[in-house]
Structure 1
Amino acid sequence: MGSSFFMILKKRFRGMRLKKWRCFCKMLERKFSQVVIVCGGSYRRGKASCGDLDIIITHSDGESHKGFLLKYIQRLKDINFLREDLVLSIHSIEGTDSGIDTYFGFCTYPGREQRHRIDLKVYPRNRYAFGLIAWTGNDVLNRRLRLLAESEGYRLDDTGLYLAAHGTSGKRVIGMKSSTSLSCNTEKEVFDVLGFPWLEPHQRNL
C-alpha cells in the first residue's frame, strides 16, 4: 500500500468532522428498510475522536441479510464513498463461517479525498449481539469478557457464546468450542449470561 496509506491509518476524525460522519451514518441507515446499521468502535463509545469506521449490520427479519453486503458496497461505491478494497468475504449465502460477511477497505467523506479505514460486518440476526459487543469494544472489556467466559466453561467471540469443547478424556480442549452458540438476542443478555455488570456503550472505555 505504501507510506501514504500507512499515514491514513493514523488519521482520526475529530470535532465537526466526526459530527458530519455521525449524520452521514444515520442517513445511510434510513435508506434501507428494516436494515440495522450501527457504527461501532470508539464512535459508538462516544469518544471525542475516531480512528476508523466499524459498521455492524443485520436485518430484522433474520433472512434478508443474505447477500446484502454486495448491494450495500455497490451503493456506497455509487456515491463515491468506498474507494479502495482490501478484503471481501461472503458466507451468508452458503451459510459457511457462521453466515457472516466481511468487507475491509478505504472510504472518503463525500466531497473530500482524505482516505479512512472502514470495516463492514454483516451478521445474521441471531449473531448480531455478539458482533456488536466485539466491534464496539474496547479491547480491555473484550478481553475481560472472554476470560470470564472461559472461567465459566464457555468460549466467546464475535460469532457467539459456545460451551467449551472437551476431548475423549473429558479434559477441556484449549481453543476449541462446541458447534452451537447460546441464544442471546441482545448485548445485555450476553452480559447477563456471563454475570458481568451491564455497561452502556459509552461506559465501555475501560
Structure 2
Amino acid sequence: VLVLVPTRELAIQVAKDFKNLTRKLSVACFYGGTPYKAQFDLLKSGIDILVGTPGRIKDHIQNSKLDLSNMKHVVLDEVDHMLDMGFAEQVEEILGFAYKKGSENSPQTLLFSATCPRWVYDVAKKYMKGEYEQVDLIGKKTQRTATTVEHLAIQCRSSQRAEVLGDVIQVYSGSHGRTIVFCETKKEANELALNSALKQVLGSK
C-alpha cells in the first residue's frame, strides 16, 4: 500500500494511525529532510504500508530503490492540498510508475479531497477504471454519505476487547439494542460471541 500526503506532519500522523490499527503489517513513513540510509534499509527489508510525501517517494523511485510494480493499493490524501502545493506533476509521475496501461493488475486507487478541482477528475479518469465511484460527504448528490453515521476508534488490548465492545454497545444501543459486529476471522467471531464478559455486560444468558 502506498499513501501519498502533502506534508510531513500529515505523513507522521497517518503512519501512526496505521501502526495503531495493525500489528501484523510493517509501516514506514518517508518525507524530506530525513536521512536516506535508514529508508534504504527499510525498503530492502520490505514494507507493507508506505506513507510519504511526493518529493521523497519520487526520489526513491528515480534512484531505483522503490519498486511499485507489485503494489495493490494507492491512497492520495488531501489531493487538493497537494495540487495547491505544486505536487501535481510529481504525483502523476509516481502514479505512472504504478500503472500499466490496459493491465488488469493495476492497483486500486482511493482519492480523498476536501474540494474537487478539475485536476482531481482528470487523475481519476486517467488512472482509475471507468466504473469508479465518487462519494460526496457534503454535497447534495445521491452518493452523499449518511449524516447520522458516526465513526469511533478506540485503542485497547485484545484481552479487553469484549469488555470495551460491550460498553460501546450499551452506551449507543442499550442492553437490547440491535448491533452487527464484524470480525476479521470466523475464529474471532466465535470467541467474541461466546465471551462471558460480553454476555454479562449485555445481560445475555
Is TM > 0.5 for Structure 1 vs Structure 2? no
More helix by share: 2
Which structure's CA Rg is the greater one? 2
More strand by share: 1
With normalisation by structure 1, the TM-score equals 0.23
With normalisation by structure 2, the TM-score equals 0.24
